[in-house]
Structure formats: structure tokens, C-alpha cells
Amino acid sequence: MSESKGIAYCHGQFMPIEEASVPILDPAFHKSDVVFDAVTVCDGAFFRLDDHMERFYASCEHVRLTPPLPDAQIRSIMAQCAHRAGFTESIVFVLCTRGRYAGGAAFGDPRTAENELIAYAVPFFTIVAEPKMKSGAHLWIAQNRRAPDAAINQRCKNFNRMDLTAAHFEALDAGADQPVLLSTDGYVTEGPGFNVWIIRDGKALTPGDNLLEGITRKTVFDLCQDIGLEAEATDLKAEDLENAGEVFISSSAGGVVPVVRVNDKPIGNGAPGITTGRLSDLYWAKRADGWHSIPVADLLEPEEEQAASA
Ligand code: PLP
């Protein structure tokens, strides 16, 4: 039997992920009128699910989307996606789409649309390919700027990603792994799927504006407190990254990941930083200890729970 690529919940039903689709008349498709969140499952347990759901509902509210199901049911659907796919290591996505305009028309009043919920579980993946998770990533400061908050509130987790995709092409063309985008006024923001950090003068620094406030970013603030390292959100320029003692990125897709090169400059001595390593080890150790975790099995319906423990 071939391994599952994932299970989706779409239009009220569970199905293999290859069969799930968004109708082209849903503005989620033709207007990117959709918000989402992505939660990791490791060793069969969600990490910081409450934080992800809080961010998901804030994203929905910002663009006037209303998930059509109660919170407990949404969590149960997310758990069922991971469980039905047989994944103990997974990333589970939850999306609220605008849905079809009244009468199913191609254009119309967004206030009339019936919002839809989609969820899916895919195998766990990382923001850079596996060997670089340890040996360190190469970041590229892209020419393409991040869309400003005044146009698209980046605190809202969205799929308006033309800026991120153009920057990704730039990074790949330059032989790097991932791009970092500057704001239109020249400050470091983030990359596609991650926040950026530097270690400078014994402090962990990360940008504070024009970005998604990652749940892993929040976790790094907690970890810094654990190891007695001062951490602060502040404005950073491209040179601050290039000249930092250490650089790392934070993402649900891999935790704390070292960066060893920014543009053509090696960072520090060109090897992953010691503090970065401490934070990364602590991240995984605390997760293995059940920190902020909720077992998938706890959110299943009773009959599925029995099957999960059989
Ligand atoms: N920034 C962007 C644009 C993202 O898409 C993501 C995650 O997908 C992040 C940052 C990191 O957020 P988190 O730590 O919640 O995964």
C-alpha cells in the first residue's frame, strides 16, 4: 500500500488530499480571499494549538471571515485529518475561505458569501532541506520588498504571497536556500514561512513590524527567557544580518534553524552558532517533554479514539 500523502476535510467530508479542491468560483481561488494557520504534530501531539487557533480567529476577524463550525469541532476535524492519514509527525493546516457569493455567481457582495472551512494534514516538512537544518541555511536579501501592512496586514496569516514567491525565485537563482524580504522602507521583515533572528552583543533580536508574528517566534522569546538571554523586537537593516555574530530563523516547519550565510557573507566563522544550537536543542527537548502539547487522540470523537488506541 502506498504511503498517505495526506487527508483533507473539504466541503464537509474527509478525503485523500489529492481529491480535495477549491471551486474556481470561490474567491479564495481568484482573489486569495482566504486565511489559514498551520500547526505541527510531533510524536502524535499538537504543539501550541491554543496559540495557533487564537491567531487563526484573529486572521479571520481581520478580513471578516467567520468559520462555519464551532471551535471544538474544528479542532476535532484537524485531529481527524492527522489521525486518518496515520501521521504522528505532521503539519495540519486549517483554512477559512470566503466561499461562493450568493447564487454561486462569479462576482458579488462578499458579505453574502457562505464561508467554508478546509483542513488538511500533510507529512511534517522543514523550511530548508534536511541536511541544512543542522549544517545551516543560506539566506538571500531579496530586491522584491514585502507588501506593507498598510496594504496587507501581515499579522493576518494569508495567501497573498506574490512578494514572497518573487523573492524566493531571486534566492534560488542566487544559489541560496531562502529569501529575506525588506519592508518598503528598508527594514528586515521575514521570509516565506519563517521569522528572522540575530544574536548581537549577547542579545537575541528579531524584527517587530510588517510580519507575521510566528508562534515559533513567540516560543523563541520563551526559550530565551529560560536560558537567561535577553530578547527584543527591534528594527534591523540588511547589514545587521550580514554582520551579526549568529543568525537563525524560526518556523513551525523545523523550529530554530541556523543560518551560516547571508548573501555572499559567511556569518561568524561560517558554522552554526552556539546560542542558536542551545535554543534549537531546548526547543526539541521541551517539545519531547510535552511542553504546550495536546495529544491528537484527545481531540478525536470517541469511536475514533478507540481505533487510535487499538
Ligand atoms: N512568516 C510567514 C510569512 C509565515 O508564513 C510563517 C509560517 O508559515 C512564519 C513567519 C512563521 O510562523 P510560525 O512560527 O507560526 O510557523
Grid cell for residue 69: 463550525
Grid cell for residue 109: 457582495
**Cα separation of 149 and 30, whole Å?**
21
Return the best residue to mutate from 34, 95, 210, 252 for the ligand 1 pocket (most ligand atoms within 8 A of CB). Answer: 252
**Cα separation of 105 and 227, whole Å?**
56
49-62 and 215-226 are packed helices; what angle lies between their axes, rounded to 10 degrees?
140
pLDDT of 301 > 80? The answer is no
| 132-172 residue pLDDT tens | 999 999 999 999 999 999 999 999 999 999 999 999 999 99
Among the listed residues 135, 273, 285, the one whose alpha carbon sits nearest the alpha carbon of residue 223: 285
Predicted confidence at residue 304, as pLDDT, reads: 65
- Partnered with residue 141 across adjacent β-strands are 180
**Residue 116, SS3?**
strand
According to DSSP, the β-strands at 203-206 and 194-200 are: antiparallel
| 75-114 residue pLDDT tens | 999 999 999 999 999 999 999 999 999 888 878 899 999 9
Predicted confidence at residue 136, as pLDDT, reads: 98
| Burial of 134 per CB tally in 10 Å (0-12, 13-18, 19+) | exposed
Q: Which amino acid is it at 11?
A: H
**Residue 135, SS3?**
helix
**Cα separation of 293 and 283, whole Å?**
13
- Ligand 1 centre distance from Cα of residue 26 (Å): 25
| 242-296 residue pLDDT tens | 999 999 999 999 999 999 999 999 999 999 999 999 999 999 999 999 999 999 9
Ligand 1 atom having least distance to the Cα of 218:
14
Give nearest CA residue, ligand 1 atom 5. 193
Give nearest CA residue, ligand 1 atom 8. 193
| Burial of 278 per CB tally in 10 Å (0-12, 13-18, 19+) | middle
- Ligand 1 centre distance from Cα of residue 157 (Å): 8
Q: How far is CA 52 from CA 57, 75, 292, in A?
A: 9, 11, 11
Predicted confidence at residue 106, as pLDDT, reads: 79
**Cα separation of 211 and 215, whole Å?**
12
Give nearest CA residue, ligand 1 atom 10. 194
Give nearest CA residue, ligand 1 atom 6. 193
| 32-59 residue pLDDT tens | 999 999 999 999 999 999 999 999 999 9
Ligand 1 binding pocket, CB closer than 6 Å: 38, 190, 193-195, 212, 214-217, 250-252
How many whole angstroms from its chain centre is CA 140? 19
Return the best residue to mutate from 34, 53, 162, 195 for the ligand 1 pocket (most ligand atoms within 8 A of CB). Answer: 195
Give nearest CA residue, ligand 1 atom 13. 214
- Ligand 1 centre distance from Cα of residue 252 (Å): 7
**Cα separation of 119 and 68, whole Å?**
13
- Partnered with residue 186 across adjacent β-strands are none
Give nearest CA residue, ligand 1 atom 2. 193
Listed in sequence order, the residues at least 6 apart from 70 whose beta carbon sits closer than 8 Å to its beta carbon are none
